[in-house]
Chains A and B, each alone.
Chain A
Amino acid sequence: MPSIPLRNPSPAALEKLTQIVGSDRIRTTVAELYAYAFNAGMHRAMPGAVVQPKDPSQIAAIVSLANEHDFVIIPRGSGTSLCGHTTAVAGGLMIDLQEMNRIKEIKPGDLICVVEPGVICDRLNAALKKHRFFIPGPASSEVATLGGMVASNSSGDKALKYGATRDYVLGLEAVMPTGEIARFGTRTIKNSSGYQMEKLMVGMEGTLGIITEITLRMAPLPQKTAACVASFKHLSQAGRTVADIIGTPILPVQLELMSHACIEAVNKATKLNLPPAGGMLLIACDGHPEAVRSEIELIRSICSRNEAFRVDYTEDPKRIEELWKGRKQMIPSLSALKPEFATVMLADDMAVPISKVPDAIVGFEDIERQYDILIPTYGHAGDGNLHTKVLLNPENPEHWMQAKRAVESIYDLVLKLGGTVTGEHGVAMSKAEYFKKERADSIPFMRAIKRALDPRNIMNPYKIFDWDDGFLSHLRYPVEVSK
C-alpha cells in the first residue's frame, strides 16, 4: 500500500472550526494529539486536531468544512475499539463525542430509549434499571459509548440470548459525509418502511457518517439469574455439551468456555482454586424463577450426560459474581503467565458455528504448538465467539512474525469452519486482510455504498475494505516489523 497522504485541517480550517465550536472545544497540543493517536487496539496514528462538539448542527458544520477544506474526519467515543477503528491513518480531525452524553428519553411504555452517542453503556443501564430494563453491552460497558457500540456493532457475553447492539437499534440520527443531518428508522418496535438504513449504519465503523442520536429498544431485566460451573476431563466434552444445550433448545444468558491453559492461568494468578480440568463451562440462565430452575436442571443433566466430573450450582448473586471472577480475571491471568510478554489484539474474536467450537479450539491448540507461541483460548462458546490472546514480547520483531503466521493459520481455520474473523470487535485495520477473504463477494457492494455516500472520502477513510496494509502496520509498539 503506498503511503497514505495526510489530510489534516489547515490553519484556515482550524480558524473556521474555532468559530463553529469555540476555542475551548478544540485541541492541537502535543499531549492531546498523541493521546488520541492511541486506542484499545494495537495500531496508532496521530490526528491533526481533536474537537469536542456539543450538538448535531456543530457536527454538520464541521463536516461541511471538511468537504470544503479537504480534511478527513474520524469519529470517536471512548477510544475502546480494538481493531484500529479510530486510528487516524490519514491524520485529520478527530471528533470526540464523549461530551454529547445526554440520555434524552426513557419510554418504558414504548419499550424505547433515546440517547446521544457519548452516553456510556453502564450509565444508561443504571438509568434503565429504575424502570427494570437494560441494554446488553460489551465487556467494556463501563466505559464504552453507545455511539461506538452502534458504529462497531459490538456485543458481549449475553449476546447468545440477548443479541448484539444491532438488534436494539430502531432508529438513529447521523450527520452524513456530505454534511446533511439525516434521520433513519423509527421509534416503533416494528417497521417495514423501505431500506433499513439505520441498520446500514450499524457496524459502519465511522466510514458512513457520525451518529448523533440513537433510538434503542430495551430488554426487560430478568427476575432471577442462576449459574453453574461444569468441569470436564476433556475439552471436547465441554464442546459437545455446548452444542447439546443449544440444540435442546435452551438459550442460557451466558455460556463461557475455558480451556485447560486458561484455568491454569487463572489458578496461578488468583486464589480462586478452580478445579483442574481439561475444559470448563460457566453457564448462567435468567428469566422467571421457575423457568430458570428448570433450565438449569436440564443443563445439569446435559453436563452429566457429557461426563462432567463436577457441576457447581448457585442462585446466590454474590456466588455467581464470584464464579464469574475467574472469567473476568482472564486477561491479567494470561498476562501473568509471562510478565515480560504482552497480550496483543491479534485474532481476538473469531466466531464459528456453535457446533464447530470444539474443532476450532483443538485447531487453535495445534497452531499454538506448531508455531511455538502462547495462544490461550476462551470465549463465549454459546454463540460460537472465541477469544484467543496472543502473548508475545512486543519489542521483538521475530515474535510478531511468528504471531503473524499463527494468526494466518487461525483465520484460515476459522474460514474453513464456516466462521467469521470477527464476532464482536469489528474489522477496521486488524481484521481487514482476512475480512476481505471472508466477504469477497460483498465487498464491491460495500465499496459502492461508501463511494456513493462519501464521494470525497472524508469519513474515516482507509478502513474495512479500503485497508490494504495488513495487520502489522501502524503498530503502537516500539518495533519495526516487515510486513
Chain B
Amino acid sequence: MNTTFDHIILRTELVQSETFGDFYEEILDSNEGSSFCNPLIEDVSELLENILLKYESLTAFQKDVLYKIFSEFNHIRTTIDPKRLKSFTHDLNEDEELLLFRESENGLINIIINPEDCIAFSFIPNNEQKRTFYFIDQNGDFETLAYNFFSN
C-alpha cells in the first residue's frame, strides 16, 4: 500500500503564508466540511493510524517502533523541512515483518521491522553509490533512521 505525504507537505506549505495562513487553516480545518470533501485533512498521525488498522497482527514491539519512526517523520515535517518527506509503500511479509520501503531514482530504501526485537535499514543502490545496511534496536537512533529513509 502506498502512503503519500503530498497532502501533508502541501497543507504545511499553505498555512505558512503570513497573509492567508489563517484563511487556509479555516478552510482546511472547518468542522463543517466532512472528511471526504477535504483533500487535506490527513496528517502524519492519521497515516500511522491507517497502517496500524491495516495490519492487525502487528506486535507491541512493531507498534512501538512505528510510533518512534512516525514521531521522527513528524519532527522532519515540523522542524526541518516538510519537503524532505517522500511517499513510501508498506507491506507485511510472510515472516510477519513490517516493511516500509521506497524506490527512488538512486535505488531501493527499506526499513524492516521484525516482530520481536530487531529493526534493519538498507539502501540498495542502482548506481555506483555505496550500499548501506545496519540494524538498530528499540532504543536506537530513530532520527538518523528517518533521515536515511528520505535521503536518497
* A joins B in a complex: no
Give residues in A with beta carbon < 8 Å to B: none
Give residues in B with beta carbon < 8 Å to A: none
